[in-house]
Amino acid sequence: MRPPQPRTSLLTLLAALLAAPDAARAEVPHLVRVDAARALRPLRPFWRSTGFCPPLPHNQADQFVLSWDQQLNLAYVGAVPHGGIEQVRTHWLLDLVTARGAAGQGLRYNFTQLDTYLDLLKQNQLLPGFELMGSPSGHFTDFEDKQQVFEWKDLVSVLARRYIGRYGLAQVSRWNFETWNEPDHHDFDNVSMTEQGFLNYYDACSEGLRVASPELRLGGPADSFREPPKSPLSWGLLRHCAHGTNFFTGEQGVRLDFISLHRKGSGSSIAILEQEAVVLGQIQQLFPEFKDTPIYNDEADPLVGWLLPQPWRADVTYAALVVKVIAQHQNLLVANASTAQYKLLSNDNAFLSYHPHPFSQRTLTARFQVNNTRPPHVQLLRKPVLTAMGLLALLDGEQLWAEVSRAGAVLDSNHTVGVLASAHRPEGPDDAWRATVLVYASDDTRAHPDRRVPVTVRLLGVPAGPGLVYTTRYLDNRLCSPQREWRRAGRPAFPSAEQFRRMRAAEDPVAAAPRPFPVGGRLTLRPELALPSLLLVHVCARPSGPPGQVTRLRVLPLTRGQLALVWSDERVGTKCVPVDIRDPFLPRWPGVQPGQQEAVNVQPLHIQPRCTHSHRPGFSPLCAGPPTYLAGGPRASGRGWVQGHELKATGTLVLQTQLLSLAPTVFEPWTTGPGQAPSPTLCRTWRSLLPEGRQLQADWQGA
């Protein structure tokens, strides 16, 4: 079996790609020009959202959304650096609530399971895309029943007040409350939803939220808006909000804080935008009063059907396609403010894959349910599309002028090669000027393993600054595909620890150490890009102060001898500090795998101490000591300045985070499976959720 390529050889290969001579190219090169001195407009990261739907039966949604597998999945989603994913839009949330009481006699609700899920999101620094969808204990069946309409308003009001009290208005006012998903698809379970019933339901949602706080926003209808007379509930909602009568107040018109629609690509990137343009044109023609209403496409996937296995969903093809779709929207739609107030694009890809398709479903991670261990356990791998969200997170501030041309002809974003570039002005002493250039090579869902695309990248107008350096990160299917390593291993259903190590070694982009930026503010690179691939150029000036502290360090158990570290960079203050996990005790702890962690702030570790006379399985305080985890940027041998973070374990029971000073975070090492917690105390310390199989305490609240 081929061992994974060492980091030095990967960097050598990347250097060769960046320095390939013109004579070696069979194609006319694409010219990518970026002017760091020409800021066009603010670049708002409208793409930081994902979503999923629990499986049937929906009245047992807790068994999925609160499962250990989904806890791990959300840890990976929330660990994208710099808030690269902020929202998880979730179906059937109100089926996590149970109801007691009879109609007309008052209802009491148990929110415990919903509390637990929302706490899990908050722990991972994620916001809910809160669809007011589901029927607690099957109580709501008909929204033409006036009694049920009033009860629904009370439920929404109680729910909103509860979470304002739990998390604060500043937090809950950031949530996107939304209608029942895709009402024109009639997926209501046992609820009867006529057009009038849907409008009554919407008014109850609106007024219930308003009672809690007028600062809470509500939108919808989260559907495809097919041409009238199709999609009667969607068009009916717009008509009602514009001219209809509010069920509760009798006033004309009802607030609509955003219009959400669903248009997907059928395998084509530009098809998403083209379909959106048609719908937006129809909305503006029929309802000009909504011209300035924010537009969300919160299911903008390249292809319908999350569980449909597709080879391109497994590798960099999907990652580059997602970046291409985002660049198209920024350059062709967002840049044209007169067209629409486009505010959010979400891929619905936070599902959990299942055997025999761990990589090829529409997911951010690849799940392996390893049933040949005692107890069985779950491993997740980061797919390239999740890594791409980490690269996108480096874009912020202001969009820079950028242009792609070939043989003198300027190309728009609907071509194989495209670019999105930004510059950031410092916001504090631990911050500094930086620029990011993200180049994609994508033929939508098609991969061309034998084709290379010559590109010349010219970055100019970079202002002089202290310690100015640049680095590159590169992602393609030959160097950065865990699925490729899995296939090379024979597609094992239960990969070994060594096979997982090889797959994880292929998760990250190939990164070059920082180099001094050329004097004069101009940089030229001549890479040959695989098709598909992503190339990121990152330019950073040295900040006047050190970066902030890594926080929220926690540990998630995987299986015997294996755990995952998760941390937050919310207080770091700069995007120019990558993260390394290093271990000076490697001779004594040979299973701990070091590696750069720039795309996701989560690091699975495999710990196998040589001496085994410990009183706890998988941990030995009688050895030389636990490993030290060093998280830092490339130590650029005098050429770079990048400082890093140190995540340091001291003694046997306390893990500390260190950057210039120590900030203790208490935990006790636990390397058995999730269902094998040594004590409830440790379980509460390490996980916000109780072990699977434990009963949750009931917390009933009346409307």
| HEC sequence for 582-627 | CCCCCCCCCCCCCEECCCCCEEEEECCCCCCCCCECCECCCCCCCC
Cβ-contact 323, 330 below 8 angstroms = no
pLDDT in tens, 395-412: 999 999 999 999 999 999
Residue 362 confidence (pLDDT): 98
Residue (of 458, 475, 452) closest to 535 by Cα position: 475
Instruction: Determine the Cα–Cα distance for residues 302 and 271; give it in Å rounded to an integer.
Output: 9
**What distance, in Å, lies between the first and last C-alpha atoms of the chain?**
63
Residue 545 confidence (pLDDT): 86
Cβ-contact 447, 531 below 8 angstroms = yes
Residue 613 confidence (pLDDT): 24
Residue 103 confidence (pLDDT): 59
Residue 610 confidence (pLDDT): 28
Instruction: Determine the Cα–Cα distance for residues 79 and 91; give it in Å rounded to an integer.
Output: 22
Strand intervals (E) in 118-238: 127-131, 176-178, 217-223
> Average pLDDT, stretch 37-52?
98
Residue 656 confidence (pLDDT): 24
Instruction: Determine the Cα–Cα distance for residues 32 and 526; give it in Å rounded to an integer.
Output: 10
Indicate which residue of 182, 207, 276, 299 is catalytic.
Answer: 182
pLDDT in tens, 308-337: 999 999 999 999 999 999 999 999 999 887
pLDDT at 660 over 60: no
Residue 598 confidence (pLDDT): 45
pLDDT in tens, 605-629: 544 332 222 222 222 222 222 222 2
pLDDT in tens, 545-561: 888 888 889 999 999 88
Mean pLDDT score across all residues of the chain: 83
pLDDT in tens, 101-139: 875 678 999 999 999 999 999 999 999 999 999 999 999
Dihedral angle computed from the Cα positions of residues 498, 2, 73 and 693, in that order, rounded to the nearest 10 degrees: -30
At 22, give phi and psi (nearest 5°): -60, -35
Residue 310 confidence (pLDDT): 98
Lowest mean pLDDT among 32-36, 451-455, 654-658: 654-658
pLDDT at 157 over 50: yes
Give the model's confidence band at 646: pLDDT under 50 very low, under 70 low, under 90 confident, else very high: very low
> Average pLDDT, stretch 431-448?
97
Residue 8 confidence (pLDDT): 46
pTM for this entry? 0.84
Residue 500 confidence (pLDDT): 96
Instruction: Determine the Cα–Cα distance for residues 445 and 317; give it in Å rounded to an integer.
Output: 6
Provide the CA 688 distance to its chain's centre, in angstroms.
Answer: 20
Give the model's confidence band at 203: pLDDT under 50 very low, under 70 low, under 90 confident, else very high: very high
Q: Give me 71's structure tokens.
A: 């806890």
pLDDT in tens, 253-304: 999 999 999 999 999 999 999 999 999 999 999 999 999 999 999 999 999 9
Cβ-contact 133, 189 below 8 angstroms = no
Residue 429 confidence (pLDDT): 80
Identify the structural domains of the chain with CATH numbers, from first to last. 7-44+388-540 (2.60.40.1500), 551-672 (2.60.40)
Cα Rg of the chain, angstroms: 26
Q: At what angle do helices 316-329 and 384-392 cross, to 10 degrees?
A: 30
Residue 683 confidence (pLDDT): 29
pLDDT at 230 over 60: yes
pLDDT in tens, 566-594: 999 999 888 987 655 444 332 332 233 33
> Average pLDDT, stretch 167-196?
97
3-state secondary structure of 314: helix
Lowest mean pLDDT among 411-415, 554-558, 654-658, 689-693: 654-658
Q: Give me 688's structure tokens.
A: 């916000």
> Does 456 or 600 have the greater pLDDT score?
456
> Average pLDDT, stretch 324-352?
93
Q: Give me 650's structure tokens.
A: 């001291």
227 a catalytic residue: no
> Average pLDDT, stretch 372-382?
95
Residue (of 38, 14, 42) closest to 521 by Cα position: 38
